[in-house]
Amino acid sequence: MLAERPVRTGTSEPTEPTEPAGPGAGFEAGWCASDLGEHRPCQYTYEYYDYESLPPLDSARFTGDFAWLGGPGAASPERGAALAALDGALAAHGLALPAEFIAFQAGERTHHALDEVSVTACWTSVSEPLPCPGEPGTFLVRFLRDQQDCVHWYLCLRPSGETCVVWSPVDFAYEYERGREAGAAELRAEIRWCAPAFEEFAYRFWAENRIWHAVHGGGPAELDQPLRDYLDHYGPTAASPHTP
């Protein structure tokens, strides 16, 4: 699939941008993903769906053990050392990686879980700490990117201790290396909040890509009940996309 810049869609009528409370405050909320067959159409490789249109998830089920993947498995010493170095770099700014993120990225069972299920060949790529534009003291850590760099997903780590997941078409590692020629306000406007915590993001990404394979292959009957429930949120067909 050829990738294009995400376009906003996902509801029948244009809506005002929503801004999450808590860890995501300050960012417009939105989910960047592909289609779910006729249940949720997609005009391009990726679309930008209103966050409130997504199936709700029970945050209580995400405890950091990644039970829905069978657990992280044994930790890789090499990846563990790299994550420890990254955590040390963040500590210099008074920040720390979430324990669930370390467990997932170090775990032999989970490290490539998102890469393996991705229908657009997204791949794990953990960056150094990257200053968040327009928010001194806050840093981004990229952990997943589209194969053609159309979309990048980041942890957003704030001095308050709050952490969330955001995405952007901007590769902030590249912007940081070239001295960020664009203004902070311009770059910040390209960031979207998409999950309150890493495990919740990982589950939704994994679930939607599993569903994509099912609806474009053997059908939803191949899905287990939680994923069928997720798909049923959209009904038999979805509303027409829009671009405000």
Q: What is the DSSP string of 144-209?
A: EE-TTSS-EEEEEE-TTS-EEEEEESS-HHHHHHTT--S-HHHHHTT-EEEESSHHHHHHHHHHHH
Rounded to whole angstroms, the Cα distance separating 103 from 66 reads 9
Task: Give the global pTM.
Answer: 0.87
Instruction: Provide the pLDDT confidence category of residue 26 given band limits of 50, 70 and 90.
Output: confident
* Single-letter residue type at 242: H
Between 16 and 133, where is the model more confident?
Answer: 133
Mean pLDDT of 235-239: 60
Rounded to whole angstroms, the Cα distance separating 144 from 35 reads 19
pLDDT tens, 89-128? 999 999 999 999 999 999 999 999 999 999 999 999 999 9
pLDDT tens, 181-229? 667 888 999 999 999 999 999 999 999 999 999 999 866 767 899 999 9
pLDDT tens, 51-78? 999 999 999 999 999 999 999 999 999 9
Of residues 105, 123, 106, the one with CA closest to residue 114: 123
Instruction: Provide the pLDDT confidence category of residue 168 given band limits of 50, 70 and 90.
Output: very high
Q: What is the DSSP letter of 108?
A: T
What pLDDT is stored for residue 139 in this prediction? 97
Give the HSE-up count for residue 122: Cα atoms under 13 Å, Cβ half-sphere.
28
User: Which two tokens mark 196?
Assistant: 């309150």
The number of angstroms, rounded, from the C-alpha of 210 to the middle of its chain's C-alpha atoms is: 15
Look at the alpha carbons of 227, 228, 230, 234 in this order and tell me if their dihedral is positive or negative: positive
Give me the chain's average pLDDT, please.
87
* pLDDT-wise least confident of 140-144, 158-162, 219-223: 219-223
Mean pLDDT of 28-44: 94
Mean pLDDT of 44-51: 94
142 pLDDT higher than 90: yes
237 pLDDT higher than 70: no
